[in-house]
Structure 1
């Protein structure tokens, strides 16, 4: 019942965001500003708060597992993306499909679902999971769109951008506060309440922003066979493969479940922006987001229900 309520909440928030965008109540400029607010303030606040849990040896071990698994998964996505879409003749569509395989919406929607399904520790693990994802997005992902071979300088620039990303900085702050808590330090009451107030906005703000972004896409764009095939792969086939492999390994259940649910997220909202910037069929990129996000409303309940079964929890 809790998972059903979660999905209904997500759907309703998306619908409200869609209406706000479609009605013109929120302009595209305002949507971009809200998106920046989420990425630069609200989501980092949620990440910092996720570190304010009692750290145990089990949590630390699972955190390490998540980081290693995420790294391996991201490396695999690079090879998989080249293999499964090689039959697509249109080079611009193929490029978007490859980027959509490497990067998905785990950084916003994935964190919301992880927190809602698994609590603060779920958000903690998903924050760690995103480190390799962000590195890949800003290095291999940018290289795809710009058609540039990565030099040592470009790799360092991409890595520097990741290390200074607000969500990564939030991890640094969270670790410092976690260590401070072990030594008996606590944030002053007004700071803690401010942090909690910002973090509590996370789910609503993320879903409203995604809803307004979707409102910019015409309903007629839903009918796209290739984007539909991508969505099935992104939401079901790839996470199912990860599921089978991880469940055969001696990995803590919550750590493996986080990795699986993060791989089951729809296309990244950064894709049409990059496609627009480099002139690589942004319309098709937008279709990929629309179709995969809509279908995820049906696939996410399946995954969260699966994790509620005793043998997988």
Structure 2
């Protein structure tokens, strides 16, 4: 057990160090709101799509997709089930109407790209990219459909889906993911100069995302972590780090999947709340302050969840 814990810490320490670097750079004003926005844009619109192009070219084949089978749909089933349970919990716990939608979205949906993807690759290597992207695709679909519909209802809007939300669903990351799957099934291989460029740009994704995470933690302030803590906050934490991982574990127990896929899905299931949640909440009149506090709380707590899950998974 001692050797396993040491191994887990060695796998997690690079993640923590890069987050600490971002925290320090933000503290000394090397990263400001302006540069933080630039880091986000560079990561989400350049580095992560490039990493997907490169790694999906390396690890995706039509054979591997067929072998994965129903495992490809496991995240969608698990996240949708978690959202349903979050809905029941919000009613049973009498969560205020103005925050029920955002509560349910935070209960079920995780930050699977900015934090989840680099954590998965840091723990399990580049082979983790493929299953991490499947979880990301399912998570994105749930959040930007029923999740946003519920958040819109918090602000007095109707529980409906708007065509403008499609732009949020088809982000550069998800679009590159879909394109590469199509090219894989079509048997099309991109030229080497494109793949080499994608590999170089994609190597920036993990450090950019983790440094930005440190910036977020510093800018929100650790002293605000416990401000406004109530029953809603505790239930969101339970949903993120207990209920959703248990649902994913239950679904995976019933579906035969490769080991790397099981490990990555379990880690992704316990990632922090999606960083877009406060912005979406504010735009639709939901409780953005509640969402912001929970982004900070779940991000900090994930630093505990990751090494624990690493030990559990062996």
TM-score of Structure 1 vs Structure 2, range by shorter chain: 0.7 to 0.9
Q: 1:202 to 1:63 in 2, by over 3 A?
A: farther
The one of 113, 122, 126 equivalent to 1:116 is: 122
What per-residue deviation string (whole Å, max 9, x for no partner) do you get for residues 30-61 of structure 1? 21221122111111111111112255676213
**Corresponding residue for 2:245?**
239
The one of 261, 267, 277 equivalent to 1:271 is: 277
Q: What is the correspondence of 1:125-204 to structure 2 with a 5 Å cutoff?
A: 125-147=131-153, 148-151=157-160, 154-159=161-166, 161-162=168-169, 164-175=170-181, 178=184, 185=189, 187-189=191-193, 191-204=194-207
Equivalent pair of 2:81/2:247 in contact (CA under 8 Å)? no
SS at match of 1:106: coil
The reply to whether residue 256 of structure 1 matches residue 262 of structure 2 is yes
**Corresponding residue for 1:13?**
18
The reply to whether residue 24 of structure 1 matches residue 5 of structure 2 is no
SS at match of 1:99: helix
Structure 1: state its 5+ residue gaps. 309-313
Residue 170 of structure 1 and its aligned partner are, at CA, apart by 1.3
What per-residue deviation string (whole Å, max 9, x for no partner) do you get for residues 68-97 of structure 1? 112212321231121112214433343332
Output the CA distance in 2 between the equivalents of 1:171 and 1:63: 16
Output the CA distance in 2 between the equivalents of 1:269 and 1:186: 32
Equivalent pair of 2:74/2:252 in contact (CA under 8 Å)? no
Output the CA distance in 1 between the equivalents of 2:190 and 2:215: 38
The one of 280, 288, 310 equivalent to 2:294 is: 288
- Aligned Cα RMSD in Å? 2.5
What per-residue deviation string (whole Å, max 9, x for no partner) do you get for residues 184-238 of structure 1? x55234x333211111111110011111112221323222244244223311332
Residue 260 of structure 1 and its aligned partner are, at CA, apart by 2.0
Q: 1:63 to 1:29 in 2, by over 3 A?
A: farther
**Corresponding residue for 2:223?**
220
Q: What is the correspondence of 1:24-103 to structure 2 with a 5 Å cutoff?
A: 24-53=29-58, 55=60, 59-86=64-91, 87-103=93-109
Output the CA distance in 2 between the equivalents of 1:91 and 1:266: 23
Equivalenced residue count is 302
TM-score w.r.t. length of structure 1: 0.86
Q: 1:188 to 1:59 in 2, by over 3 A?
A: closer
Output the CA distance in 2 between the equivalents of 1:241 and 1:54: 27
Output the CA distance in 2 between the equivalents of 1:161 and 1:270: 10
**Corresponding residue for 1:206?**
209
Q: Which has the larger displacement, 51-60 or 65-74? A: 51-60
Equivalent pair of 1:135/1:159 in contact (CA under 8 Å)? no
**Corresponding residue for 1:311?**
none
Residue 141 of structure 1 and its aligned partner are, at CA, apart by 2.0
